[in-house]
Structure 1
Amino acid sequence: MSTTAEPYPIDVLLAAAGSRRRAGALAATATFARRALLKIRHDPKQLVDSIAIPVLFTVLFTYLFGGAVSGSPGDYLTLLLPGTLAMSIAIVTMYGGARLAKDVTTGAFDRFRSLSVWRGAFVLGGLVSDAVRYVFASGVVVVLGLVMGYRPEGGVTGVAAAVALVVAFGLSLSLLWAAVALLVPDQAVVISIANVVLMPLSFASNIFVQPATMPGWLRAFVEVNPLSHVAAAARGLMNHTAGAAGAVTWSLVATAVVTAVCAPLVLHLYGRRG
């Protein structure tokens, strides 16, 4: 009678499979990006807001205030639409932070951190999915404007440059809300904080009216508001107006500063949670 122990079936299967290669950084990032995009099916509010916000503000403000502000809705649309492009992207950035907060509270965040992949892939994958949402929202704004009669003097090149600039600024804000989510992992709190920051930046800006008619104290805030610079840059690029270079430069500076501060902070908070 043999005393040799028979191996368990699972041991045989594991031995036959051999060791698996660790997923590369690019593959892991793509996987997390795909996961974030698929989650939109379970939280359609992200997609609905990407459509509703630009439609609501662009259509409503154009036909309510277009004649009073610029003489006609068509002339006002030239001022308004690049601004609502910047504002719409800025507002929907909050959902990336809310998604991360939910992953932290449900335990998914800790399970992903235990995987044998590059840790930055989780954060970078979320940014890639955010970029896809921002491009989609930008497309909604541009198509809506064309339907309403807006004809950008900057052509395809100017519109593409404006969208790229706005999306880059939106991604820097995504890093900011990711840091907030890691500090306060609660969806409702993240969205509340984002609204407290984004609402004043959106309405106390040059998006809806030019600041020349504003009181001095408000105009001073509008002129340093980063969202005003992004809106002015998008307006200059899309309308091919003189002086756009200064606004583009300030927008890039604001984007770089927010990214330089928030990216290391997010990585620090990401590691500290372990």
Structure 2
Amino acid sequence: MKGLKKFLLTTATVFAAFTIAGGVKAQAANYELGLNEEKSFSLSNNEEDTILFTTPETGSFHVEVVLTDTLRDGESVSYGNVFLTSTMVNDYKTIWSNSSLIKGKGWIVSPEYCFAPGSRVSISLKPNFSDITYNYNVKIVNDADKFYEKETNNTPKKATSIKVKKIYSGVINDGDDVDWFVFKAPKTKKYKFYAVNTEKVHGWTSFTGFKSKTKADGNYTGIYSESGWKKIKTVSLKKGQKYYIKVARGYNNNATYKIRVK
């Protein structure tokens, strides 16, 4: 027991420094979690846990949380009005919140996000009763496809480079997020640009071709999540010529998609 207390105290001390980087105030207990790692935690006395992690070098991520047990005076209890609230913050901005962490409901899964590699993100867990002990698990999942957008690709100057016959994935976090891709023709010929909306709910995302960093190549192509792969443009390019694709939010935040060139 002494060893466990020492471990928890050390962990809390280390995490207090990380909490500020994540954009939240230090709480009673702070912990760190790695990518694709799952840990168990216990929360009581109306305190608040804060869990910090670092965003992946490639790909997007999502968070999963489950309330495994609730106890009163050491005995397991099940009340429908006993729950945890989880709040995820990046750079002082709340990006996700959920108040449905109820025992027996199973895993609660956040949307996917893609931030600049090495960004700090915090998840706070807050109980709604002071006389209940909450046991819960948290895991951070790196949704890492082989080829992925590279944040911050929000401008043509920082566009993610793409190549022929490779499929690239991305996610539009919110209405302020825009993803840019650039293709440099390896030889003179016609190229076809395709995209698919991979959202798990009904959604719509726009894809626009650009002849240069500032000149749009006609109107955008809107793609619904149920419609499969759609052609954005067919373009004749000379060897070394660049062509840009801009992806922007349609209906939903956290809109996932894929693009490719043939």
Structure whose residues are more often strand by fraction: 2
- Which one has the largest radius of gyration? 1
Specify the TM-score bucket, using the shorter chain as the normaliser: under 0.3
TM-score, normalised via structure 2 length: 0.28
Structure whose residues are more often helix by fraction: 1
User: Higher RCO, 1 or 2 (CA under 8 Å, sep at least 6)?
Assistant: 1
